[in-house]
Chain A
Amino acid sequence: MVPSTDQLKSERILDELKARQRTKEVVDVEEERVKVVIFICGANCYAFYGADIREILPTCEISWVPCLPEYLPGLINVRGDIESVIDIRHFLGEHKSSHGSCLVAMAVRGDFHSGIMIDSIEDVVDIPLNSIHPPLTTLNGIAGDLVVGEIDHCGKMVTLLDIEKLAAKITL
């Protein structure tokens, strides 16, 4: 760039600094990121926002409670606190995994807290917010109601689920 003769050096430097600042802001906006927990359930990959998952519990004994619907397999004891467990496969139309064992993701959003049965954890990653694509229109029914969007992880499409929407489905 040819310096303008009627512009002071300090002004030029200031302009450069401001331009750099604007570029940085644009980059910052583009790079706004969010943590997601990617997991396997049945035959597919799903994710929750990391902020909604307090911890992942290893395989633990679920105490069955009579009178509850099939998607609520029972209770677990988390260091003295009794928590419910949701079998999310019911809502996603997934089948029970062949190996039988599962993990429990402890989900917390506002007043809602519950364990959620998952088959395994795939990854925990920070992704740019703008990499979350709108949900596929082909996702119908209950599963479609839970979906926030789709993300690409290592070439695989991952369905991002909303804990709040899941909580709204639990009506007893």
Chain B
Amino acid sequence: MPLNVPIVENILSANDRLAQENHARIDAAGVFSINLMASPGAGKTSIIEQTLPRLADKLRVAVVDGDIATSLDADRAEAAGAQASIQINTGGECHLDAVMLRGALEQLDLKQFDLLIVENVGNLVCPADFRLGTHKSVLIASIPEGDDKPYKYPGMYRGVDALVINKIDLLPYINFKMDFFQRGVEALNPGIVTFPVSCRTGEGLDAWINWLMQNVKRNGD
């Protein structure tokens, strides 16, 4: 006679459990952490390059870089002033998961830092499903990607805590309807904090830096 055994367990629970462990570890060290996600070429590394010099003398920053191959991004983060940068090569995986971040955390003396920036693999689909254990998730959109991205990648736009819109200096040259884009964002993620910036001209970056500083301060209190 078959017997029904109730389970009710989240299928990605193994990753979620590890993400909670990562979170506890980062939190215990008093570090504020963000998971930076975007499509390839939106400007994840450029944001990091623009952010680090503006935080110099204020915050000690570690960067963990996820890429399928090469250490180009970790090298750029280090050149921009990261106190430590760790490259994770996912070997084909299209996203970071909690296990990979745990491996990187083990290489860092977390107490030495105020801010941990995790740069995920460029991808608007899979990183949304794998929690890492960071405090906040940040999505970087960019003007050349087009204004339809919230509608096409709802899972990503729904799950993030802050949105950076990069390359706004290109608005005059590209048919990007900001109203249409923001309506999509608002429907999926009402009230999300948004930073229109240009990494090329530096426009809008002060607000982004302030948001980071406030979060680091709040986390330390």
Chains A and B bind each other = no
Residue positions of B touching A, CB distance < 8 A: none
Residue positions of A touching B, CB distance < 8 A: none
